[in-house]
């Protein structure tokens, strides 16, 4: 982690200098000695005394599955980006470069665990069985999410920065109060089905929000079984990490009294192992855990953002060498002898998924105008009911006028 530098531009519209960006990059591109890594950028599998055993069961078949996950999720992400550029979506939030951080964590969760995402967790949604087409309504502006969050154990996307940390902490406190953590096998409210935990996803920028701090405080005070999973992609829109914190983000957990771990967010195996450990800590009743997945946002913050205004191509090119998908592909070839046919099959599957995703988007019907009333409150107030009736009357008269 680089030492914080004073950067106060004379012009508020000024971009950071080349020297400023590169100084921060040199201090953060490796993640420091605390970084947990099981798969190097060169595709070599390495050991880790503390967390290696948590991925000991991962062999060729499992790695092929994670590779498939990441390729398909990246393809959906690129298709979503293209659809927005073509005017089919109002906005898209890319996850390019963060596939390992999301797939590793998502595959670590059990069906009983509850997950609270922000708005970029397309990979985690995939792991929870959410069809990618269910995401389209959010970004097309036709719904707020079309899946059942209780059935999927995956909450609807949260747009307000950091607010999901409060929701996740409250849910985890409920798990604790209802005795769904710390039970021996065969005991507890659902005997034989095991314990539960909650996982909350957010970015490095959200750590500057009060909601995240408050979530940490309450989780610590009540030993809530929640894993706070921070995807540190180095940029809070245009604000670099070194302007947000004086210490590595995972070390902030010390101030709240619970453990923090920094993991290589471009290493799907390390993310899987660390998250498995953290979730089990929470299910066992040992309170909250903070994971900092040290990764990089390879694309814009959203399609409304232009990253070329505040970061340099040098930085992007360096992180391309740490591509999370490529390191798994290399490992599969070198250490498991996987042949080209497997990769061709995954590519063909990604083509089919992208075509289905695009076709679904283009065929989505526009919601009726009265939806502006039906999806706001569970029950309309008399005033809104009056407005709704007046609006429907206006629409009817308008349609009659057009028919003439």
Tens-digit pLDDT profile for residues 14-47: 555 555 544 444 444 567 788 999 999 999 999 9
When the pLDDT of each residue in the chain is averaged and rounded to a whole number, the result is: 90
Q: Work out the angle between the directed axes of helices 99-108 and 60-85 (0-180°, nearest 10).
A: 130
Q: Give residue 373's pLDDT.
A: 84
Measuring CA to CA, how many Å separate 344 from each of 100, 147, 337, 339, 354? 20, 31, 15, 9, 15
> What mean pLDDT is predicted for residues 297-326?
92
Q: For residue 116, name the pLDDT band (cuts at 50, 70, 90).
A: very high
Q: Give residue 350's pLDDT.
A: 98
Q: Give residue 6's pLDDT.
A: 40
Measuring CA to CA, how many Å separate 164 from each of 36, 231, 237? 26, 14, 19
Q: For residue 281, name the pLDDT band (cuts at 50, 70, 90).
A: very high
Q: Give residue 16's pLDDT.
A: 54
Higher pLDDT residue, 264 or 287? 264
CB 224 within 8 A of CB 169: yes
Q: What CA–CA distance (Å, rounded) separates 392 from 389?
A: 5
> What mean pLDDT is predicted for residues 325-330?
98
Q: Give residue 186's pLDDT.
A: 66
Q: Give residue 376's pLDDT.
A: 77
Q: Give residue 229's pLDDT.
A: 98
Q: Is the per-residue pLDDT at 4 higher than 80?
A: no
Active-site residue list? 297, 301, 310
Q: Give residue 196's pLDDT.
A: 96
DSSP codes, 150-189: HHHTBPPP--STTHHHHHHHHHHHHHHHTT-SSPPTT-ST
Q: What CA–CA distance (Å, rounded) separates 134 from 116?
A: 16
In this predicted structure, which of 184-198, 208-222, 372-386 has the lowest mean pLDDT? Answer: 184-198
> What mean pLDDT is predicted for residues 51-62?
97
Closest CA to 153 of 83, 185, 106, 192: 106
Query: Which secondary-structure segment (H or E) carries 403?
Result: helix 382-403
Q: Give residue 18's pLDDT.
A: 57
Q: Give residue 401's pLDDT.
A: 82
Q: What CA–CA distance (Å, rounded) separates 316 from 313?
A: 5
Closest CA to 120 of 244, 233, 266: 233
Q: What CA–CA distance (Å, rounded) separates 219 from 199?
A: 12
Q: Is the per-residue pLDDT at 97 higher than 80?
A: yes
Q: Give residue 275's pLDDT.
A: 98
> What mean pLDDT is predicted for residues 213-237?
97
Q: Give residue 184's pLDDT.
A: 86
pLDDT one-digit tens code per residue, 164-199: 999 999 999 999 999 999 998 767 666 556 799 999
Q: Give residue 7's pLDDT.
A: 39
Q: Give residue 105's pLDDT.
A: 98
In this predicted structure, which of 109-123, 215-229, 251-265, 299-313 has the lowest mean pLDDT? Answer: 299-313
pTM: 0.88
> What mean pLDDT is predicted for residues 114-141?
97
Closest CA to 127 of 263, 41, 229, 47: 229
Q: Is the per-residue pLDDT at 3 higher than 70?
A: no
Q: For residue 400, name the pLDDT band (cuts at 50, 70, 90).
A: confident
């Amino acid at each position: 982690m680089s030492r914080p530098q004073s950067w106060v531009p004379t012009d508020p519209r000024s971009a950071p200098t080349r020297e400023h960006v590169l100084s921060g990059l040199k201090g953060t591109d490796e993640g420091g000695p605390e970084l947990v890594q099981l798969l190097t950028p060169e595709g070599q599998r390495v050991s880790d005394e503390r967390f290696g055993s948590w991925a000991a069961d991962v062999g060729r078949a499992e790695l092929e599955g994670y590779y498939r996950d990441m390729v398909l999720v990246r393809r959906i992400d690129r298709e979503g980006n293209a659809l927005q550029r073509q005017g089919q979506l109002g906005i898209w939030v890319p996850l390019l470069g963060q596939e390992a951080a999301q797939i590793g964590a998502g595959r670590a969760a059990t069906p009983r665990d509850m997950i609270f995402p922000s708005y970029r967790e397309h990979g985690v949604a995939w792991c929870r069985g959410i069809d990618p087409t269910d995401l389209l309504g959010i970004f097309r502006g036709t719904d707020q999410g079309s899946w059942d969050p209780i059935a999927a154990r995956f909450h609807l996307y949260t747009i307000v920065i950091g607010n999901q940390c409060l929701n996740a902490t409250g849910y985890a406190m409920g798990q604790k109060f209802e005795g769904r953590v710390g039970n021996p096998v065969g005991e507890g409210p659902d005997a034989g089905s095991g314990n539960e935990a909650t996982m909350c996803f957010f970015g490095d920028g959200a750590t500057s929000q009060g909601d995240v701090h408050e979530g940490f405080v309450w989780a610590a005070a009540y030993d809530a079984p929640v894993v706070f999973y921070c995807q540190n992609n180095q940029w809070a829109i245009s604000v670099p990490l070194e302007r947000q914190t004086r210490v590595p983000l995972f070390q902030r957990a010390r101030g709240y009294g619970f453990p923090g771990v920094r993991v290589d967010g471009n290493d799907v195996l390390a993310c899987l192992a660390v998250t498995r450990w953290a979730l089990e800590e929470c299910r066992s009743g040992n309170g909250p855990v903070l994971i900092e997945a040290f990764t990089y946002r390879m694309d814009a913050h959203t399609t409304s953002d232009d990253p070329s205004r505040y970061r340099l191509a040098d930085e992007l090119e360096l992180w391309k060498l740490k591509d999370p998908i490529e390191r798994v592909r290399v490992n599969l070839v070198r250490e498991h002898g996987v042949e080209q046919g497997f990769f061709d099959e995954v590519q063909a599957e990604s083509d089919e998924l992208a075509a289905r995703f695009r076709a679904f988007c283009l065929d989505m019907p526009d919601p009726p105008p009265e939806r502006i009333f039906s999806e706001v409150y569970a029950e309309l107030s008399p005033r809104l009911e009056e407005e709704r009736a007046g609006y429907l009357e206006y629409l009817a008269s308008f349609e009659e006028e057009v028919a003439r």
